[in-house]
A and B are shown apart, each in its own frame.
Chain A
Amino acid sequence: MVVKMNNVVKRYNELIALDHFNMEVVEGEILGLLGPNGCGKTTAISCILSLIRFSKGEIEVFGQRMTPNSYDIKKKIGLVPQDVSVFDNLNVQENVDYFCGLYVDDKKTRQKYVAQALEFVGLMDYIKFYPKKLSGGLKRRLNIACGIAHKPELIFLDEPTIGVDPQSRNFMLEGIKELNRQGSTIIYTTHYLDEAEMLCRRIIIMDNGKDLVTGTTEELKKMITTSEIIVVTFPLISEELINELRNLPRVIDIDTNDEEYIIKFENGVNNLSNLLEFINEHNLSYTSLHSKLPTLNEVFLELTGKELRD
């Protein structure tokens, strides 16, 4: 086990930021911490890294208790903080070289690592630029380069794509997958569902400082009642027919969005054929109809009663 958190409680006065939080990270995986802003993701990372005190519980990193003086453990860790954390008055290359040098003493090795990191994040054309001259996306890439240049075994990426343009975002996500392929274990916090689904082997869904559920994307989706969603657009349909729709077998709920009706079904067979039969029986005309599997948002909604972006 690379990281183990057991019943960790962290309070900020009256506010409970982590409420008996548990987490286990296996070597070689990308673990996603998924939850809305303020749910405790960054607090969990800060506790693991021994940056902040916690009130209760145990944390082990690489099988040892982590303290501010655990320099041997720190050598194996890389952090990409949520906010861009670089020296404003050092240029791109100097920043990466400075932080890499805190881990790697040998000059030749360091030079090689710095060049690789800059290549990796696509900043080779900007090595003499100061951070304030970089766009938001490029700054985030620099933030990543500073955290990974020394080739750490365990990397914490705390919402690294916030405020990043789509092009930079895709570039970064591909890079993170590559880091994992190269052998790094990654803890990735995000409130973007698609990122978590795309990157993470396992996901912990968090809310109000608690770890609600843990599992692979498929495991999480199986945990909820909704197993199929059919979206159909009716230009004209009465309230009575909608109520009749609710009586179809295994229908859990119907949400409406203008003329679009989002019908959620429990796990079972013939959900789509039952719906088509209903449409034919009542001579209803529809302009579009498609079926989809539940997303992590449905998982989160069912677990917490609110949307992830609420």
Chain B
Amino acid sequence: MNKLFRNCLYQGKNLFRDPGFLFWALMYPIILFTFFNLAFSGMMNYEPVNINVGVKNDSQIAYILKDIDFLNVHEISGDEIAEKLKSGDISAFIDSNLNLKVAGSGINQTIIKEVVEQIKQTFVLNRPLEKIDFSVDYLEDRNQEANNVAVTFYALIAMVSLYGIFAGIETVSLIQANLSDVGVRINVTPLKKGSFLLAGTIDALLLNLMSNGILLLFITFILRITLFYEFFYSIILIIMGNFLGVALGIFVGASNKKSEDAKSLMAIAITLFLSFLSGLMGPWIKVMLDQKAPLLSRLNPVSIITNNLYRLNFLGSSKSAGEGILFLAFYCIVLILGAYLFLRRKKYDSV
């Protein structure tokens, strides 16, 4: 235990004083968030909007929907549905069996879907419709453009939660005699590789969580943007993102003989690409993937974090959070096992 503490202390000092870590894990996210905030200045504070939704003239749920402030309920006849959907007069149509008809995909449709899901759950539970919890805040004070900004911000948070990848790569490089000079020295000491790796992992997690914490404080108190309303699952998701980042770093570090700089570039490319697919550069890519390749969107770890942070904090829904956390845990296990297979080799061909 004492040795583990000493290793954590010194490896942590070495990592924390690394200019690369200070930039990528601490400065870069803050700079990025500041620029994003400047670019989207004010978009988080729009007036509330109304979403137009269609129901049949004699619909049983019309009175429930009318109680929801942000919905404009249009009672329409059957032959008008297609026309109104196509023209955009309504964003979605809900039939008497609570099936949703939409002409396209977007945030409005997602919100209506969430409402319908809640009504369905109430039915399944045999609870009276009057008991539906309308206190759930689907929109807060945002319109669709503001939602787009939120998706971008959540994607950014998801991306930086994975930035433990850099520390993971560094830790593995330091323990491998064929990759670093320090690795040569460490490999001839009585220190076990596993001990060094464990200490490095603990440091990487703690330091990246610290940098995430600093970023969130910066967002909340300096930029004055409120992104979090649900804390329990949000924190777990960010922690799992950190675990995944470190595991990915260890895997990338262990799986090839490229230089540490080359691996850092790989790390940047991987996290940026996954974040791009999750809506970092604009939600259009995310919407397109949701339509054309929903599986890809569902498997992308950054998407998992982004989507769940959005649902938890914007739509008040935690129903997919558990599944997302399990997915992330699964990825961590697979990556660590993969890294173990590479690292278990004790002797090298050359150093």
Judged by a CB distance under 8 angstroms, whether A146 is at the interface is yes
Checking A68, A75, A84 against B181 with a beta-carbon cut-off of 8 angstroms, the contacting residue is: A84
Interface size for A (C-beta < 8 A) is 35
Task: Indicate whether A85 reaches chain B with its CB closer than 8 angstroms.
Answer: yes
* Chain A at the B interface: SS class: loop
A101 CB, nearest partner CB in chain B, Å: 5
Is the pair B351, A79 in contact by a Cβ cutoff of 8 Å? no
B261, chain A: closest CB distance, angstroms: 14
Q: Is B351 a contact of A51 with CB atoms below 8 Å?
A: yes
A81 within 8 Å of B by Cβ?
A: yes
Q: Are B351 and A46 in touch, CB under 8 angstroms? A: yes
Cβ-defined partner of B14 (8 Å) among A12, A72, A89, A101: A89
Q: Min CB distance, B207 to chain A, in Å?
A: 13
Could you tell me if B185 and A74 are in contact, using CB atoms closer than 8 angstroms? Answer: no
Is B2 an interface position by the 8 A CB rule?
yes
Residue interface mask B9-28, A partner, CB < 8 A = 1? 01001111110000000000
How far is B346's CA from A46's CA once the two chains are assembled, in angstroms? Answer: 13
- The answer to whether A68 and B351 touch (CB under 8 A), given A51-B177, A89-B13, is no
Comparing B188-196, B267-275, B308-316, B319-327, the segment that makes contact with chain A is B188-196
State whether A102 and B191 are in contact (beta carbons under 8 Å apart), knowing that A79-B185, A81-B181, A94-B10 are contacts in the complex: yes
Find chain B residues with CB under 8 A from A105 CB. 2-3
Contacts of A72 in B (CB 8 A): 190
- Please, how many angstroms separate the alpha-carbon atoms of A50 and B189 in the complex? 11
B133 at the A interface (CB under 8 A)? no
Closest-CB distance, B194 to chain A (whole angstroms): 12
CB <8 Å contact, A79 and B184: yes
Chain A positions 199-254 with a Cβ under 8 Å from a chain B Cβ: none
Which chain A residue lies CB-closest to B174?
A87
Cβ contact of B188, chosen from A74, A87, A98, cutoff 8 A = A74
Are B347 and A85 touching (Cβ within 8 A)? no
* Contact of A86 with B by CB under 8 A: yes
Q: Hey, which chain B residues are within 8 Å of A257, CB to CB?
A: none
A233 and B187 alpha carbons, distance in the complex (Å) = 55
**Residues of B in contact with A (beta carbons under 8 Å apart):** 2-3, 6, 10, 13-18, 177, 181-182, 184-192, 346-351
Q: 15 A-B residue contacts at CB 8 Å?
A: A49-B187, A51-B177, A51-B188, A51-B348, A51-B351, A68-B346, A79-B184, A79-B188, A81-B185, A87-B182, A88-B18, A89-B13, A90-B17, A94-B10, A98-B6
